[in-house]
């Protein structure tokens, strides 16, 4: 992944191991034992750093090995004042193995795509030179990723196996860390990954590439990157959620609500932080600024003002609160007018049985509030209106929705709009 100096901070971020020059095949004593390839957005709560440290502990490499073959993680090995692109190019071009943390954010990252693509090319060159297929790439399922979201080159590399455990295969390593940090399931996966790193790094000596002849920025990564550049700017978050003092009518599980609308935590208990804090991390992590306010009767005026200022908007709506005053009237008005630069997410905890899809009355009520938008819900071709968003999908869904709305702003009004008026008739059932 790419690290800019502004992300490293004002001081030294960690020990930097010197990297020697190397030849075409072998010959270097201090090639990084493994290179950690990950999306910066996946490390907001320092989970990647914790996994990295746990992996080093599980590897338990002897001192002479780590001195000559240091592991490489950008924020540890790149110091203030270093040429980050040069150091990154050296590490990707010389590492003995690569640990890649697969996630939705990973496959949207331009530089993660460059890292994966160039390392895979080094693996192919080794096989062409020796007729031996090296298993030097160690994929780690950080968060679940639909196979259709993976490039064909990635799908060709096996990244799951039963020995890692059913929970890991279903939910990914991040979920194991969050649900039971340091627990037996998480420790088992870390030990297995460490074993695979040894099997990847010890037997093989991949061909290496030396800067300045090799420049990672010139690599054409195999991950698809949006052709329309993301628009850096301000995102306004509006929350429609009741409070613990005045919970929604009929709702018995009030622990999800706080003292104010923005204290709503649909993924808690046991998931923290609040959904607003999580949304702000996603938005600011992508280089934007964000502000938060409750949905009010002046919602349409606020949305119109935001469009005038070229600001994207996000509505975070509690399904139970959408039926309540003052939110229902404001959301009905939004649904009638339709704002193409506003995204709507309705989060839902997968273990919140009260809010499950089998609660037909609840979701029928939400449908009546968003009657015009309901037909395009969860549409991957128009990804700005999402319901039943669980905690595993929230970050990626929000990031995609914000990108789409900002690209519509950048398109200077060339957007598809719904005409105002009565809602369209229901589609006949097939």
Higher local confidence (pLDDT), 193 or 410 = 193
């054409």: which residue's tokens? 220
Taking only the tens place, the pLDDT of each residue in 406-420 is 888 877 443 333 444
Taking only the tens place, the pLDDT of each residue in 112-170 is 999 999 999 999 999 999 988 888 899 999 988 877 778 888 888 877 777 788 888 88
Distance CA 311, CA 307 (A): 6
Distance CA 31, CA 17 (A): 10
Is a pLDDT exceeding 80 seen at residue 81? no
Residue among 418, 345, 430 at smallest CA distance from 385: 345
Both tokens of 222, joined, read 């195999």
* Backbone angles phi and psi of 371, in degrees to 5: -65, -40
What confidence tier does 65 reach under pLDDT thresholds 50, 70, 90? low
Rounded to 5°, the CA angle 136-141-144 comes to: 150
What confidence tier does 346 reach under pLDDT thresholds 50, 70, 90? very high
Distance CA 186, CA 172 (A): 10
Taking only the tens place, the pLDDT of each residue in 319-345 is 999 998 889 999 999 999 878 889 999
Domain-wise residue ranges, the chain: 35-218, 234-413
Q: What percent of the chain has pLDDT over 90?
A: 32
* Backbone angles phi and psi of 238, in degrees to 5: -115, 135
Residue among 17, 131, 1 at smallest CA distance from 74: 1
What is the pLDDT, as a whole number, of residue 354? 87
pTM, rounded to two decimals: 0.50
Choice among 13-17, 67-71, 212-216, 395-399 with the minimum mean pLDDT: 13-17
Both tokens of 191, joined, read 């030990």
**Which CATH code, of 3.40.50, 1.10.10, 3.30.230, 3.10.20, is assigned to 234-413?**
3.40.50
Distance CA 294, CA 335 (A): 17
Is a pLDDT exceeding 50 seen at residue 19? no
Taking only the tens place, the pLDDT of each residue in 264-273 is 999 876 556 7
Beta bridge partners of 141: 102
What is the pLDDT, as a whole number, of residue 406? 85
Distance CA 209, CA 420 (A): 59
Higher local confidence (pLDDT), 365 or 357 = 365
Distance CA 91, CA 89 (A): 5
What is the pLDDT, as a whole number, of residue 335? 93
What is the pLDDT, as a whole number, of residue 80? 57
Neighbours of 88 (CB within 10 A): 25
Mean of the pLDDT values across residues 183-195?
Answer: 91
Distance CA 70, CA 29 (A): 10
Residues near 13 by beta carbon (within 8 Å), at least 6 away in sequence: 75, 76, 78, 79, 80
């Amino acid at each position: 992944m790419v690290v800019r100096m502004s992300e490293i901070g004002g001081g030294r971020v960690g020990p930097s191991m010197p990297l020697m020059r190397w030849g075409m095949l072998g010959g270097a004593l201090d090639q990084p034992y493994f290179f950690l390839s990950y999306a910066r957005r996946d490390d907001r709560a320092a989970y990647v750093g914790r996994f990295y440290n746990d992996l080093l502990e599980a590897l338990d490499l002897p001192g002479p090995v780590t001195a000559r073959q240091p592991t490489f993680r950008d924020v540890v090995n790149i110091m203030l004042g270093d040429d980050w692109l040069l150091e990154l190019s050296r590490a990707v071009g010389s590492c003995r193995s690569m640990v890649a943390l697969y996630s939705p954010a990973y496959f949207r990252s331009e530089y993660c795509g460059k890292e994966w693509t160039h390392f895979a090319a080094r693996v192919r060159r080794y096989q062409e030179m020796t007729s031996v297929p090296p298993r030097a790439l160690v994929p780690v399922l950080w968060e679940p990723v639909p196979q259709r979201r993976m490039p064909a080159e990635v799908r060709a590399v096996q990244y799951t196996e039963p020995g890692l455990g059913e929970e890991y295969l279903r939910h990914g390593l991040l979920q194991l860390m969050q649900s039971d940090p340091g627990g037996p399931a998480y420790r088992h996966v870390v030990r297995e990954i460490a074993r695979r790193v040894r099997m990847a790094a010890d037997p093989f000596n991949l061909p290496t590439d030396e800067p300045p002849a090799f420049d990672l920025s010139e690599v054409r990564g195999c991950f698809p990157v949006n052709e329309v550049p993301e628009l850096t700017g301000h995102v306004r978050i509006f929350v429609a959620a009741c409070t613990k003092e005045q919970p929604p009518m009929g709702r018995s599980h009030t622990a999800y609500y706080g003292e104010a609308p923005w204290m709503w935590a649909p993924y808690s208990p046991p998931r923290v932080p609040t959904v607003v804090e999580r949304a702000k991390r996603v938005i600011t992590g992508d280089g934007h600024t964000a502000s938060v306010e409750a949905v009010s009767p002046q919602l349409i005026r606020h949305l119109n003002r935001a469009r005038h200022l070229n600001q994207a908007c996000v509505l975070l709506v509690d399904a139970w609160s959408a039926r309540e005053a003052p939110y229902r009237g404001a959301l009905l008005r939004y649904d009638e007018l339709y704002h193409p630069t506003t995204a709507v997410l309705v989060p839902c905890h997968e273990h919140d049985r009260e809010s499950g899809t089998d609660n037909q009355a609840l979701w029928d009520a939400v449908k009546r509030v968003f009657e015009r938008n309901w037909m395009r819900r969860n549409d991957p071709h128009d990804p700005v209106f999402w319901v039943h968003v669980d905690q595993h999908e929230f970050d990626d869904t929000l990031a995609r929705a914000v990108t789409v709305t900002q690209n519509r702003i950048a398109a200077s009004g060339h957007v598809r709009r719904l005409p105002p008026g009565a809602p369209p008739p229901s589609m006949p059932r097939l």
